[in-house]
A and B are shown apart, each in its own frame.
Chain A
Amino acid sequence: MEIQIKKETSATVITITGRFDAVTTPQYEKTMNELITGGDIAFVVDFDGLDYISSAGLRGLLFTAKQLKGKGGQIRFANVKGTVKEVFDISGFGSIFQMDDSVSASLAKVS
């Protein structure tokens, strides 16, 4: 997995590409933990370049979301599609997280 971080005015955009699995999840959790500890509380995660997610990845997303919630922060997901979307749906994550069709739509909705 490759992670890119871009700070926009309303939120920090995290672009993840490749595989979100048992091997790469700690990398996501660590990056997010550093940003949250540094004071960021609004995030948009862009899934456009993600080919694969497993339950380990879902747990990572959940873990970070809970961490943010404790700080009154928020997180939105953009471009969740294909096989990744299927895994979200199987796990009921489609309704737990707030999802949008594009990064700009997500950014617009971050309050």
Chain B
Amino acid sequence: MIKIEHLSKTYDDLTVLKDITIDIKKGEVISIIGPSGTGKSTFLRCLNLLDRPSGGSIHVDGVNILDAKADVPRIRQKMNMVFQSFNLFSHLSVLENLTIAPIKLRGMSRQDAELKSLELLKLVGLAEKTDSYPDELSGGQKQRVAIARCLAMKPEIILFDEPTSALDPTMISEVLSVIRRLTKEGITMVIVTHEMDFARDVSSRVLYMDEGLIYEEGTPQQIFENPQKEKTRAFINRIRSFNYRISSPDYDLYAMNAEIETFCEKQILPRKTRHNVLLLVEELLQIYSPYLNATLLDLTLAYSEKRESLELVVESMGEALNPLNKNLLPDELGLNIINSLTESIDYQRLDNRNRLTLHMRKS
């Protein structure tokens, strides 16, 4: 139904979309997720012709919509968009917001348009608000009106750009449940959203956008349960990380501790956890200290908000070496502490680097 090939978009010297190629079939519900600023809105705006792509092509049912002679109002009717900020006409009543486009653009009679609009307002649960003005509605109600207005154009495709991001938490579910109902009507939908549970429930396919690309795509199962690529995984598990490089045996333990503390505070980790992280790092550095003349040490502390888990990765260069090997240690004091603070410890040799991965025990 929608065929997008090598789509790109550059603003001045900022390349937002690099190369997007995807086919969307009739009846599919596609969720687009990804970090802020990765071009999700830009992508939808290109589809809706609100932004002119810099390159590539978009065909809808075989029609090249980027053609200079394309019938833009007709395309927007067929592929309508719902915005984060509702974009209702504030000087028109709820009913007029719904009827204006069908009357003006589709040549419907006022009576037919009003009948149809009432039906749609019932569908979104707002039949009693026909005469209200947008300012008299809550955010959730405004967005439901916006969805009904979009449906009044009888679109075959609906593009949603974060339809619940501007709403108070209490109003999100009323809007999501309206969209959820629409997904069962067979309308093709592309939904940019940060509501992960919703995306998982309603989508036939999930696109993870990053670096101006569709970085990874798959079924909700594949993307949410078993993402293959590192950035997808970090996004899904809400992983935030902190890096520190030790380049001399005379490293400044307290400067590093201060940075670790700041990172832990940002993640709102409990005091006890912070204490354990500092202890784990100190014990590891103590064990690595005989090797610090010969190698750099890269520490990465990664916190998954979703799993509430902390992982510490220590990478060193040089010959194969797992310094936690008992035979290399003068005593086991440090090792015992490390073992008590961790759930698992894994040593790997990867392209001339030694990687030690420690999963911290929950405190």
Q: Which residues of A contact B (CB under 8 A)?
A: 21-23, 51-52, 54-56, 58-59, 83, 87, 90-92
Give the top 4 A-B pairs by smallest Cβ distance, nearest first.
Answer: A55-B333, A55-B334, A90-B340, A54-B282
Is B286 at the interface (CB under 8 A from chain A)? Answer: yes
**Are A90 and B336 in contact, CB atoms less than 8 angstroms apart?**
yes
- If A22-B282, A87-B337, A91-B337 touch, whether A52 touches B275 (CB-CB below 8 Å) is yes
How many B residues face the partner with a CB closer than 8 A?
16
How far, in angstroms, from A105 to B172 measured CA to CA in the complex? 62
**Which of B279, B283, B333 gathers the greatest number of chain A CB atoms within 10 Å?**
B333
What are the residues of chain B within 8 A of A54 when measuring CB–CB? 279, 282-283, 286, 334, 337
**Are A83 and B336 in contact, CB atoms less than 8 angstroms apart?**
no
Which residue of A52, A55, A83, A92 is within 8 Å of B283 (Cβ)? A55
How far, in angstroms, from A44 to B185 measured CA to CA in the complex? 79
Contact string against A for B residues 42-60, beta-carbon threshold 8 Å, 1 for contact and 0 otherwise:
0000000000000000000
**Are B333 and A59 in contact, CB atoms less than 8 angstroms apart?**
yes
CB contacts under 8 Å to A, within B262-282, are: 272, 275, 278-279, 282
What are the residues of chain A within 8 A of B253 when measuring CB–CB? 21-23
Is B254 at the interface (CB under 8 A from chain A)? Answer: yes
Q: Is chain B's interface secondary structure helix, strand, loop, or mixed overall?
A: helix
Given A54-B334, A54-B337, 9 additional A-B pairs, CB 8 A: A21-B282, A23-B253, A55-B283, A55-B337, A56-B282, A87-B337, A90-B336, A90-B337, A90-B340
List, sorted by A's number, 8 A–B pairs whose CB atoms are closer than 8 Å: A21-B253, A23-B254, A51-B275, A52-B278, A54-B283, A83-B275, A90-B340, A91-B336
Q: How far is the CB of A100 from the nearest CB of chain B, in Å?
A: 23
How far, in angstroms, from A54 to B336 measured CA to CA in the complex? 11
Nearest neighbor of B279 in chain A, beta-carbon distance: A54
- If A21-B282, A54-B283 touch, whether A83 touches B333 (CB-CB below 8 Å) is no
**Are B275 and A91 in contact, CB atoms less than 8 angstroms apart?**
no
How far, in angstroms, from A58 to B286 measured CA to CA in the complex? 13
Q: How far is the CB of A108 from the nearest CB of chain B, in Å?
A: 30
How far, in angstroms, from A92 to B337 measured CA to CA in the complex? 11
What are the residues of chain A within 8 A of B278 when measuring CB–CB? 52
Q: How far is the CB of B283 from the nearest CB of chain A, in Å?
A: 6
Q: How far is the CB of A2 from the nearest CB of chain B, in Å?
A: 15
What are the residues of chain A within 8 A of B275 when measuring CB–CB? 51-52, 83
**Are B282 and A58 in contact, CB atoms less than 8 angstroms apart?**
no
Q: How far is the CB of A70 from the nearest CB of chain B, in Å?
A: 20
Contact string against A for B residues 280-291, beta-carbon threshold 8 Å, 1 for contact and 0 otherwise:
001101100000
Contact string against A for B residues 199-218, beta-carbon threshold 8 Å, 1 for contact and 0 otherwise:
00000000000000000000
**Are B279 and A87 in contact, CB atoms less than 8 angstroms apart?**
yes
Q: How far is the CB of A22 from the nearest CB of chain B, in Å?
A: 6
Nearest neighbor of A86 in chain B, beta-carbon distance: B340
How far, in angstroms, from A59 to B283 measured CA to CA in the complex? 12
What are the residues of chain B within 8 A of A23 when measuring CB–CB? 253-254
CB contacts under 8 Å to A, within B306-363, are: 331, 333-334, 336-337, 340
What are the residues of chain B within 8 A of A52 when measuring CB–CB? 275, 278-279
How far, in angstroms, from A83 to B279 measured CA to CA in the complex? 10
How far, in angstroms, from A87 to B185 measured CA to CA in the complex? 61
